[in-house]
Structure 1
């Protein structure tokens, strides 16, 4: 089940809530009971070893058309 991060405006507490994706935009009360909360934008980290990740998607090749102009991509 996805976890969503919220911040309470009155007390500044940051907390997580597990809920189905269909309820992702539903309001959440902070642990102290305040109702004025805002859902935070979170980044997702995907686990795995760097060797496996590097082997799964080859770096783009070709004269400078890669993700960083061909200067730093391998």
Structure 2
């Protein structure tokens, strides 16, 4: 079941709600009972198989130029 993150405009609390996708746009009161909440946009990082699909599974250096510049 998807998890949606909300923020209360009254108290500033951030909280999560598990609910079906069909109810994604339904308002959610904060745990403190305030009704003025907003659903936050979440970013989800998805990678290919094993997390290194673009390198064929071979680990690479890192940094700004693949680790070759020593930065």
Asked if TM exceeds 0.5, the reply is yes
Alignment of 1:37-48 (within 5 A): 37-46=37-46
Runs of 5+ unmatched residues, structure 1: 60-71
Measured after TM superposition, the shift of residue 15 of structure 1 is 0.2
Moved >2 Å (runs of 4+): 45-49, 56-59
- The root-mean-square deviation of aligned C-alpha atoms, in Å, is 2.6
Measured after TM superposition, the shift of residue 53 of structure 1 is 2.2
TM-score between both structures, scaled by the size of structure 1: 0.66
Alignment of 1:1-74 (within 5 A): 1-46=1-46, 52-54=50-52, 56-57=53-54
TM-score between both structures, scaled by the size of structure 2: 0.68
Report how many residues are paired. Answer: 58
Report the equivalent of 1:64: none
SS of the equivalent of 2:51 reads helix
